[in-house]
Amino acid sequence: MPRARFVVRGSVQGVNFRASAVREALRLAITGRVWNSDDGSVELVAEGSGGALAALQSWLNDGPPGADVTEVSRTELGALRRLQHHLGRAQRRLAAAPSFAAGLRKVGLTAALSLPRGLARRQVRPVQVHDERDVGGD
């Protein structure tokens, strides 16, 4: 299924652009993500049919009421780019972690030899052994 990255520039933050884009994407049966960028633009990664992506791009050119779109750029993303994106993200998270185990937890993995969560914190209680003479009876 085709994937594309859109960058929408202009007065597009603070005008309900992201929420409106999500509603439009749902209407067009498109999945993906949308976020505000530090430079004032709104970015989207969208996946859907070619016609749906074209319709989304057409909507992005205008945006919701109150938005003043000056430019919409589109970059096609293939399956390989998607895999590279996720691998790069995992590598950045691992590199930022204070330890290897913490890095694995950041990307949602656990080390194969690590103890199950909570097991190391459980305390072992001693078993009480009773002498036969202590167990009821005369």
Catalytic pick from 5, 9, 36, 105? 36
**Residue 113 · residue 101 · CB < 8 Å:** no
Query: Which of helix, strand or coil describes residue 74?
Result: strand
Among this protein's residues, is 18 annotated catalytic? Answer: yes
* Beta pairing partners, 40: none
Q: Provide the CA 56 distance to its chain's centre, in angstroms.
A: 21
Among this protein's residues, is 16 annotated catalytic? Answer: no
* Beta pairing partners, 72: 8
> From CA 69, how far away is CA 56, in angstroms rounded?
14
What residues act catalytically? 18, 36
